[in-house]
Structure formats: structure tokens, C-alpha cells
Structure 1
Amino acid sequence: MQEWLYLVIGIAVVGVLAIAGFVGTRVRRSGRLPEDTSTDVLTTPVETPPATAEAPVVEAPAEVDPEPEVAPAPSLETPEKPASRLVRLRQRLAGSNALGRGLLGLLSRDQLDEDTWEAMEDLLLAADIGVAPTQELVERLRTRLRVEGGKTPDARTVLREELINLVDPTMDRALKVSGEGDAPGVVLVVGVNGTGKTTTVGKLARILVADERTALLAAADTFRAAATEQLATWGDRVGVEVVRGPEGGDPASVAFDAVKQGMDRGVDTVVVDTAGRLQNKQGLMDELGKVKRVIEKQSPVTEVLLVLDATTGQNGLIQAKVFSEVVDVTGIVLTKLDGSAKGGIVIAVQRQLGVPVKLVGLGEGPDDLAPFDAAAFVDALLG
């Protein structure tokens, strides 16, 4: 019985050893232990590789918006002083003195007969001096040359003196560009289409700046957008601001606003550019009168300048008369007065209106506008 017992125990031991050897072999081949969910089994911890030092994180600089490029402010032009303009414009006039040469040629004849005096009258009438001034000048020349004949008078000297008297040096040609007290001077510029009115306003602004006066321009020609832009260009060149309104708006409203701003800012002079209009269009002329009345609700208009094209001759006199009746013209600006045979319009228009020529323009240059001087004008005509 004991032998069987020993045999069973031996078989059991051999079986256990066999099973243990089989499991060990499996572990060695696979390199891992068989899975066991029992909490009593301790597993060998896996070694974690040493942590490497992380490279510092460099934050990118915040993007900064580049400063916008600021365009350099346009340099302002320095207008020419009126005094130096007179010298230059006199030279310009003297370059084309057909009237003066013709008169001197006639007076230099050996014999001043009736044919000579008739030729002189024709020359003066062709120069748009007008009938009455022509007859007056010829009569005075005949008298002086006859009375002073024994003294061998200098025809040039006599002609110069009589022409200056005819142009009338006693007229007050000063521009009224200052107001009473703190009020600005208000200059209203009027005229028909094509006379150079807007250009004259721009050139007048340059004269004011040259005299170290502050100015404000009013673009009251609201029917023509090009006129407003043209005026703005003139103002930008010398640092003078332009008050404008909506295209097709009320011109009187623009003029009113400009004068109001001029008073608030304390500027010296406000210059109002008006729309060109035909003298035979009553509605347009009535509107011009309205512009003047609206302005004067705030401040008096100190100067009303009528711009005339010197080459229009007698038609310019008709224009002058109608405008004067509507807005009480106080001064004439003659453009395109190049010393040609039409220079006599200076005398005729003054006689027609009883107001002086105050400014003359003789070219396209920005400073080709100058105060009118009777003696300088005559001297230029005579060369």
C-alpha cells in the first residue's frame, strides 16, 4: 500500500516539475511573464529614459503696423509783390504798342493838316477809346501844338500829358479789401462767361498774400464744377482756403457761409467768385443781385470788381453798364490788355461807368495781374 502511495507522490512531483520547466522555457523565449491579473504578482518596473532639457521657447515679437507714409506738405509759392509787377507789366505792354506808335508817327509829320487829324481820329476810334474822348483828345492836341508851335514842342511830351489826363490819374484806384472794425473786407467778382473771372479771383488771392493779408475764397459759381476745382488749385498754391457748396446749389448760400466763416476766423478779406452770366439774361442778373444782398445781411461788400475782356471793345461797355446797374460796380479788372490797338478801352469804360480801372492782366502767368497806374500805362503805350 505504501508503495502505491510513494508511486503516486512521485508521479505528482514529476508532473509539477515538468509544468514548471515548460513555463520557464516560455518566459525565456518571449521575454515576458504570462499575464496575471492577481494583485499578489509584482511586475518589474520599466526604466524611463532620462528627460532631456527642453529648448527655451522664444516668442515671436508682436507684429507692429508700419506707420503710414506721410506725404510731404506741398511747398507754398511766394507771390510777386505788386510793386515789381508794375515794372514787369510795363515792359510787357511796351512790347506791343501799336496805338502809341501810330499816334507818334502822325504827330511827327512835317505838316499837321486836316488829313493828319482825321487819320488820328480813325486810329483812336479803332482803339475803342470812344467818340467823345477821341474828339476831346484831338482838340486838345491841336490847340497845344498850335499855341506852342513857336516853341517847337515835343510831340511825344504833349501826347503823353494829354493821354494821362484822358485816363484820369485823379481816380481812386485803391482796392477796398478791408472792412470796418473786425469785419473782413468782402470783394465780389462779377462778369460774363469767358472773361477770365475765376482766374482773376485766384490771381487776386496771390496779391493779397503778397501783401501779407489773410484771405478766404468763396466758390459761388456752383453751376460749374470745374470752376470750383480751378479755384481750389489757385488757393492751394498760396495756402488760401476755398469755401464751396454742393454742385448746383444756391450761390447766395455759399457766399453767406464764406463771409460768416471769414468773420469767425478773423480773416482780412473774403473774395467771392460768382457764375459768369450774360448781361441780357434778366433771371441770372437778378440772382447776382440776390448774392450781394444776402452777403450784406452780415457784412458790407467793400468792393465789386467787374472783369472785362479788353479785346471785346464796345460790347464790353454794354456789359459794364448792365452789371453796374445790378450790383453797383466799384472797379474794373481788364484782362488780356496786351498793349494792342484795343488799349483805349481803359478810357472808354471809365467814362461809361465813372469808375476806375483798378487791375489789369496781361498774360497767363500766375502773377500777371497788377494794380493799374495811369502814367505807367501811358508810358508803356508810347514805348
Structure 2
Amino acid sequence: MQFKNVFHELLEMRDDKGKKSRRGGDERKHTRRRAKSHIAPEHTLSSPAPVEQSKWANLPPELLLDIIQRVEASETSWPARRDVIACASVCKSWREITKEIVKTPEQCGWLTFPVSLKQPGPRDHPIQCFIKRERETSTYLLYLGLSPALCGDVSKLLLAARKVRRAASTHFVVSLAADEFSRASNSYVGKLRSNFLGSKFTVYDSQPPQGSAIQTNYWSHRKMNSKTVSPRIPAGSYSVATVCYELNILRTRGPRRMQCIMQSIPVSAVQEGGVAPTPTELATCLPPKCCPMHVSKGSKQLANLCSSVPTTDLEQGTKDPLILKNKAPRWHEQLQCWCLNFKGRVTVASVKNFQLVAGVEPCHNVPLAEQERVILQFGKIGKDIFTMDYRYPLSAFQAFAVCLSSFDTKPACE
């Protein structure tokens, strides 16, 4: 049987299963209306009825492994790579094998699952993306591909951000969906916040950095008034990077000068044999399998519960973080302007264009070639189209957040 026929049958089974669930929902509508409004703890519920497994879940593991390996090897780009996602959506056994086969972006250079957006990019070559700005809605969309002209409508949406202006700062809320920017949704991945002058930006992640001590506290369960309550620490409260722009009020220092302190990435990541944190799971806003319950006097007790997590853990970062600085441009006498070699990826002159390299001290023993390697590149190619190329040790989310800082107004820095 050809693989295409296999996927057609999978899609038909998924549609049939959706129709059955809708019919069952209509039959249980009146029963739900008579049910109580409160939510019972999970341990008091009776064991659920056994779920009927599809015939694909009973395939021999060897055959299943060979099928997914062939699909994963043949589909190396979007939108065809969604067949790999379809394999992971069949059942639990398919999902576990698919997760084992699919490698991280560092190893294969491909973005497959949502967690890939928070994993470091490849070491040998950059992942090329482009950002589309929508002025009417103050929305910024990150797509995977060389440029919109080459990709057309088949471009893969990676991340979306919405700009929110406030009295003393500007916020960029980053989400997996282009129409959902609530911090309470599962699509929320982080945010970027500026200071009053727009000269300093802080990148917040929705989940703690890999290996942080707070990770165990974040998913822990505490007992309060004989009830099991899941502590809901505000999403996006983990500072992972800081972007600083030098003040240039008199406009005598030339283009913008910026510096990024990657608090979650050690400087050893750019050394030979260095490793950057690589998360394996994408945490959601609320822990799964936990039921939020109404608690009297809950606001005060919940605040005490969240405050029980040490603040040192909340603000804990790498002792020796990686520092990125913008590559100094050169003055072109004939064009009478500052220039950088973007290797054809940037075509329009703009104050927003930049290239970031590792700013390391001599004591770190980083090779000169690695110090000159461009880790993040951002530039303009159209009125509202920009390119973004990133590589190891940055992730797509970190690179996108740094590029968003370039869109904010900086009257004192340019």
C-alpha cells in the first residue's frame, strides 16, 4: 500500500471520529445541564471507559518504525512535512515513535513540532525566515522560508506577535497563533517588554529555562484547605534575555548599537563542544491533568503560594551568559552610507538592519572564526517584509523576540 493511501485512510478515520464525538455531545447535552457546576478532584472520579483503538495502533513496532522513518526522510520541507505531524496524531504509540525519530533543529536543520521553536538552530547553516508586518493590527508574523515571493501561500507560520502600547512601556505578546494573544491560552509562548525610552527590552519566556530549579516547583501540587490546587504562576515570568540599545541623543555615533545578554544560554555554547539548553517539551500555561478549583479566600492564599517559590529561582540565569553584539558596519565612500554584507538577504537600507555576533572575552578561548560568525541577521527587503536568519545557539523564539525590539520607536537611540 502506498503511503499516500495510508494518509487518506488516516484522515477519513479522523473525520469519522470527529462526527461520532459531535453526535455523542448532542446526546449528552441535557445531562450536562443537570450536572453540578463545581469540578471534582481527579482522584475521586471513576476510571474512564476504555477507548477504542484504531487498527493502526496494533501495527508491529518494527513495521511502524520503518513507515515513520520513510515518511520523515522523504518530507524535508513544508507543507509536505505536515505528513510527519499526521503520523504523530494517529495514536499514542505513533506519537512516541515519531518523537523519537524526529531530530532537533540542531541535528537536522528542520522545524517540525512547536517545541522546535524553542530549541537551538543548526550549527552549520542558518534557518532562513521572514517577518511580515501588518500595520493596521500592529501584528508581526514569522514565516519559514526564503522570502514571500518564493514561498507564496505555502509558507509555514511559525510565530505571531502583537504590539501593545502602554503608558510607560511597549509590550510584544508572542503566540503560536495569529489570532490568539491571551496569556491564558495554550498558544502563548512569551513576550517582550521595553522600558520608557525604548532603549532596554526584556524577553520573557512562558516556561522556565531548561534545567532551572523552578521547573519542579512550577508543576508541583500543593494542598490547601484539604483541597488539591494547582499553583498558577503567571505565564511569561521567566526572564531569558535582555536587549540594550546605546543612547545616541546627539546622533553622532552612526547606526544603532545594541547588545543582547542571553541569560539562559552560557557563553560555553559557542566554544568547541559547547552545548546550549535544549527543551524537550513545550509547557502550557496550566499543568495538564489538573483541575482549577474555586477556593474561598483564594486570592490571598494563592498569592502566598506563588510567593513561596524563591525569587532567586525566578530570576536565576546563567552565571556566565552569552553576550551578542551587533557587527560594526563600514563606511562606504562612494555610497556615503554605512554598509554590511548580508550576502543578498537584505536589499533595502534601513536603520533596523543588523547582524549579531558573539561578544566574548579572550579568557573564554573562543576561536576567531566563531567570533566572526553571524548568529542572527535581520534586514528589510520590502515595505513591510523583513528577513530573519538565525543559527545555533539561538532558538526561533529568542531570535524573533530580539528582532521585535528593532520595530519599537527609539527616539534616544538613533
Question: TM-score range with shorter-chain normalisation?
Answer: under 0.3
TM-score, normalising length from structure 1? 0.22
Point out which structure has higher relative CO (alpha carbons under 8 A, 6+ apart). Answer: 1
Structure with bigger strand share is 2
Structure with bigger helix share is 1
User: Radius of gyration: which is bigger?
Assistant: 1
